[in-house]
Amino acid sequence: MDTITIGRVTYAVERRERTPAGRPEVTYHLAGPRGAQYHTVRNVPNPHRMFLVNDRPGSYKAPKDWLTDANGVLEVLSR
């Protein structure tokens, strides 16, 4: 399983492929060491940019970093 470090936290990354409306799309699920869980949502105008959404509302704040997979690997774009 892949990992990504955002700030000081390293998350386990699971790549998920889906086909909504007949077009393939890749999303990622991130799991933190203390139970935080997030998934990525693509920016509509620039689909190589993604942000994180909390899978467990009310538990942990999602990092505000932008992510990208333009080169095929999920990485932090900016802080």
Q: In terms of DSSP bridges, do strands 9-18 and 66-68 run parallel, antiparallel, or are they unpaired? A: unpaired
Give residue 69's pLDDT: 92
What is the percent of the chain with per-residue pLDDT over 90, rounded to a whole number? Answer: 51
Average pLDDT, the chain: 88
Mean pLDDT of 45-66: 87
Q: Where along the chain do its domains lie?
A: 2-78
Give residue 74's pLDDT: 93
Cα within 13 Å of Cα(11), Cβ side: 24
The pTM of the full predicted model, rounded to 2 decimals, is 0.85
